[in-house]
Structure 1
Amino acid sequence: MDDPIDYGTLDSGRDCNYWALDRTLQRVVERAYPEAEFEWAAERLDWLGEETGHRIVDNSEAVERHPPELDTYDDWGEVQNHVEYHPALADTELATYCEFGLAHDVFHAPDGRDEPLGLTHAIAGEAILSYVDPGFVCPASMTVGAAIVLDRFGRDDPRTKRYFEALTSDDPDEYVEGAMFLTEKQGGSDVGANETVAVATDEEGVYELTGEKWFCSNIDAEGTLALARREDAPEGTKGLSLFVVPHTVSEDGDPRGEGDDTRLNDQLYRRLKDKLGTLSVPTGEVELRGATGYLVGEPEQGFRYMTEMLNFERLSNAAASVGIVGRCLLESKVYAADREAFGQTIDQYPLMRRDLVEMAVDYEAASAFVFSASRLLDEYREAVREEGIDSAHDSEAFRLMRLLVPIAKLRTARESVDTASYACEVLGGNGYVSGFTTERLLRDAQVLPIWEGTSNILSLDVLRVLAKQASHEVFVPAVEERLDAASEHDALSETAATVREELADLQSGMATLATEDQEYAQLQAKELANYVYDVFAAAELLDMAAEDLESGDGRRALVAHEFVSRQFGREEGRGISSGDRVALDHFDAIVRYAGVDPDELATPASAPADD
């Protein structure tokens, strides 16, 4: 069993190895990887945790003080679309893309392996990087996301294939970053309202795009994907085509834009958004003025292609949330272990212990849910390789993944904001002051409920998935399988029975919405999404707890019981008279990762400990 971590040895949540300190992340990531992959990847993740906690955190703080600036025109009034970056950002890119191989290793076999890694490897890397810079994780995730699309649909055209190769390169002289320009002022989440027009040129597959894109993150990326409507194409999403629209173009199609005949693409970067947070990624408005675009795959398939990217992007968003919550929790643990008030450190006081236990349990649930969905995304990706995309869409992995991914993004994004806000409170006045990390994390977190679909959009997506993919048919057996495993252990059986009752109630709720009118179903959609999250997260924690008990550690059994008790508890008087002392009796186990002898779990976890 593990020894507890002494957070009092740290001055703050930096100058440390984030991977080594985050045993929650280690456990859920190991569970998400195929066994042989994790054996290889663990050392690389440890390397990234060390670099992020020292080198990249320094870079991030420098970029935060000196964020990107846009010079649209040169001194002669000519369009130059030049974004000026602090050099520290280039070092972070070098570490991420070239030394760690974030985009490379999930498409090409890295040194020491015969096959590429799953997308879980990129998502795990993004969670670690989000400990210090969720803004940078935005272009990092879009780089992988754009590569997913071009790998699947753009390999037949030599031009788009070259962009795939550049997006996935780990060569400092070859790699480019990705972006996606979807949002337009009149459309927002309504992508079908896209007004950008694509006009064919004399060269097959090459178009000129005219229109405006309103919210363009990583504005000067060379590997940008954009949606536009060809002339005479249908209205709505069915008429959209997908294009690579680079920052620069050249006759030889060099993605790096370094050839002698390189010129700026015909677009105007009007301004950068003056954002609340995620300052390290330049987000702006782009006016396409006959910009060169290379058609990806078949025309009028653009929206379908982008949805393949969207599943990964939403999980990347959730990974950023996991990283923010992990860092906020670490900062809170360290501060509480160091800060003295009235003669003792504040982590000795019951209310602070309860707060830290609740934060830790929520983090365990969020991490378990996100990486369970990540595992399913990789299973779906493998099915696409073996069976083709149409057959893969009928797979159990796809149907369950499509249900869990929007819910993962919905719930963890909101929890990142709430946790960052409370972490500011734990640090007191310092938590509200620039330089003490938590205020920045709160600003960075606030965009996560907006990126990749708001909570309302995601909730409606859940209704569509249940209707179109009948995902409840694979969701219920998946939960039951996990509960069956937990029910074999006396320490978990009662808690598993509670979740089984909730599963029955959830099924009843799903059946009700399936028969009610559309307005009522939409009214309850967010409640349904959160209910699915609670039930699945509880089952996943219980399944993990069962595995841990067999290995001789009962810590996660305590975590699972606490999560179930908080989400589904129906005690009178809001539990005040219940005698629950878990936050006091098991603080070291839940917050500091102390091992727990399974024999100590012979009685329900919430029972008062014997003196």
Structure 2
Amino acid sequence: MATAREAEGDLNQSPAFTDVNLFTSDTALREAVAREGAADAAENLTAFGRIAGSAAAAELGRQSNDNPPRLRAFDAQGRRLDRVDYHPAYHRLMGFSTAQGLHCSTWDYLATVNGPRPGAHVARCAGSYMAAQMEAGHSCPITMTHAAVAALLHEPVLARSLLPKLLARSYDPRFAPWQKKQAITVGMGMTERQGGTDVRANTTIATAINGTGSGKAYAITGHKWFLSAPMSDAFLVLAQAKGGLSCFFLPRFSPDGSVNRIKLERLKDKLGNRSNGSAEVSFDRAVGYLISEEGRGVQTIIDMVTLARLDCAVSSAGLMRQALARAIHHAQHRSVFQKKLIDQPLMLQVLADMALDVEAATALAFKLAASFDGHDDPDATAYRRLMTPVTKYWVCKIAPPLVYEAMECLGGNAYVEEGGFPLLYREVPVNAIWEGSGNVMCLDVLRAVERSPETLERVLAGIEAASGGEQRLKSAVDGVRILLGEAARDQARARSVVELLALTAAGALLQAHAPPAVSDAFLATRLYGAFRHTYGVGLGGGDIHSITARAAPSLV
């Protein structure tokens, strides 16, 4: 017989949103994966969705954030250790994501005679979308390890030696030279305190040890203001060589087996992403290896940065989905004023309004992922170049207010740590900041258009083709061209044109692939709606029941 406390605890409380398959419960995700070329990955993603949405994984996420990494700078005798200890829960999460291949799967073809697998980026991004919902902090080293391969391929001899460790579907957390490990992870260090985004202002110096040239050793001296995942087995860093700003592979151990001269000065006390360490570091003649040529540091590492920007958008879309799913789930079970919340007109309108942005963000993120699978196709190349910063900008910008609004749908229960929403809310700002903040993305868009007007025309032609002659989308495309002309003369217009381009591209995708209830409401409110600060206004006349029902998590 239930105790009085147990009976009281069940009174009008929604059940915990755990043990939910994050793939099969998400209609928009399943459709995007199939539409963008990864339908054959559905069975694999279903299995991972079950893991990522499990109560056990949620508990690991809680533990890893309640017990953040700890720096061990010295041993008992005062000798430098420069190690970071992580909670076992963090290592378990890393094990889940590496077993899924989120750190490597798009590069599997490098170990075979076959070419890239069709839909590989889309399938991997679907896993990353769910991994972010499982626990976002551990996704940082997963993202960087995957993206680092693109930069390492500029140095084929080094890449060949590293690939067996990078492509391993396992996780080896030991602090040991990378040559002795089964699998490795790679981090990144670009920013310095005096320059930040302006990496060309970096002051870290690289001096050739064995002469200059590709693959040679350098002594690196200086600092990095942010070095993410400091227990990675190696890092890609930027430093000033004789020939200019250059990119280096910096392992944690020197060739003689001693710990490389990388001093971990402190771990940052961050707002969120607390399970993942971020360090301030200094280098004292640490041994690194040149990738590509001196003076080509930005051109080399930008391949890594571009892939990381894709992951920022995918992760933010996943976090938005998790927040919306929890809000709808709560509204389906909580009664207020003799009705379920889901049946209260104003609540239903808020949920439907959020659902429009989540579906649009998901559609944009996976369209972008598919462009990475396009490889040398000129349309895919153009989309990848222009829409990576556009998608990152818009998806990452809308995530924090959406997650906040979803919290409000749950009320006070969402504001306490036990429910998990505070953890989710602390995670969403980082993707807008990491790998280029909003202004950086907007300026990148202007630069892409200026350098290659054909890139813009290819993207706009694709949007027009998907729009099916819809007049509102045609007018929006014309508006993009007008605003770009204004932004070319006045950079202060850049945010306006980037947001309009994102909304237009998303609207075209929904027009082509989503139910009319979704596409019509999105176009009416996002392209032609009145100015608004909040969700739940301006959807009058829309089929909000159909919109919300489509977004509701399917738990059968």
Taking structure 1 as the reference length, the TM-score comes to 0.81
Residue in 1 that maps onto 2:32 = 28
Unaligned runs of 5+ in 1: 1-7, 234-238, 252-261, 384-391, 488-495, 546-555, 595-611
Q: Is the 8 A contact 2:74 2:81 kept in 1?
A: yes
- Pick which of 419-428 and 119-128 moved more: 119-128
Question: 3-state DSSP class of the match of 2:210?
Answer: coil
Q: How far did residue 202 of structure 1 move? A: 2.8
Alpha carbons of structure 1 residues 181 and 422: separation in structure 2 relative to 1, 3 Å: same
User: How many residues are matched?
Assistant: 525
Distance 1:124-1:541 versus aligned 2 partners, 3 A rule: same
Contact 2:341–2:347 (CA under 8 A) maintained in structure 1: yes
Moved more, 576-585 or 8-17: 576-585
Gaps of 5+ in 2: 1-11, 173-181
* AA matched with 2:166: L
Contact 1:228–1:240 (Cα < 8 Å) also in 2: yes
Q: Is the 8 A contact 1:269 1:287 kept in 2?
A: yes
Shift of 1:573: 12
Question: Which of 221, 224, 230 matches 1:213?
Answer: 224
**Residue 584 (structure 1) shift:** 4.8
Pick from 433, 440, 448 the counterpart of residue 450 of structure 1: 433
1:370-392 CA deviation, whole Å, 9 max, x = no partner?
A: 1111111221xx32xxxxxxxx8
Distance 1:104 1:584, change over 3 A: closer
One-letter amino acid of the counterpart of residue 280, structure 2: E
Query: Quick one: which amino acid aligns to residue 145 of structure 1?
Result: A
The aligned counterpart of 2:464 is 480
CA contact (8 A) 1:361 1:590 kept: no
Over aligned residues, Cα RMSD in angstroms? 2.6
The amino acid of 1:591's aligned partner reads: A
Partner of 1:201: 209
2:547 aligned with 1:592: no
The question of whether the paired residues in 2 share the 8 Å contact of 1:120 and 1:371 is answered with yes
CA drift at 1:121: 2.5
Residue matched to 1:580: 540
The 1:265/1:339 distance shift into structure 2, 3 A limit, reads same
Residue 357 of structure 1: which of 334, 352, 356 is its match? 352
SS at match of 1:226: strand
Per-residue deviation, 1:571:
7.2
1:512 aligns to what?
Answer: 486
Once the two structures are superposed, what CA deviation does each residue of 1:346-382 show, in whole Å capped at 9, x if it has no partner?
1110111001101111111111111111111221xx3
Distance 1:169 1:570, change over 3 A: closer
Q: What are the equivalent positions in structure 2 for 1:78-477 lying under 5 Å apart?
A: 78-97=79-98, 99-108=99-108, 116-117=116-117, 118-150=120-152, 152-157=153-158, 160-172=159-171, 174-202=182-210, 205-231=216-242, 233=243, 239-251=244-256, 262-379=257-374, 382-383=375-376, 395-470=378-453, 471-477=455-461
1:443-489 per-residue CA deviation (whole Å, 9 max, x = no partner) reads: 111212111111111111111011012222212211111123xx4xx
Q: Is the 8 A contact 2:487 2:497 kept in 1?
A: no
Are the equivalent residues in 2 in contact too, given 1:225–1:243 (CA < 8 A)?
A: yes
SS of the residue 1:70 aligns to: strand
How far 1:164 moved relative to its partner?
Answer: 3.3
Once the two structures are TM-superposed, the CA of residue 267 in structure 1 deviates from its matched residue by: 1.4
**1:109-138 Cα shifts (integer Å, max 9, x gaps):** 599996654222322211110112121111
Q: Could you tell me how far 1:9 is from its partner in structure 2?
A: 12
Q: Deviations over 1:286-309 (max 9, x none)?
A: 101111101112222221011111
One-letter amino acid of the counterpart of residue 250, structure 1: P
Indicate the larger mover: 165-174 or 296-305.
165-174
Deviation at 1:154, TM superposition (A): 2.1
SS of 1:274's equivalent in the other structure is coil
Distance in 2 between residues matched to 1:593 and 1:480, nearest whole Å = 32
Partners of 1:200 and 1:565 in 2: CA distance: 60
Counterpart code for 2:466: R
Distance 2:209 2:201 in 1: 24
Deviations for 1:29-81, whole angstroms, at most 9, x for unmatched residues?
22222xxx531x11111111111112432221110111111111111111101
**Deviation digits for residues 136-193 of structure 1, max 9, x if unmatched?**
111110010111221x312234xx4323332222244511111110010001010111
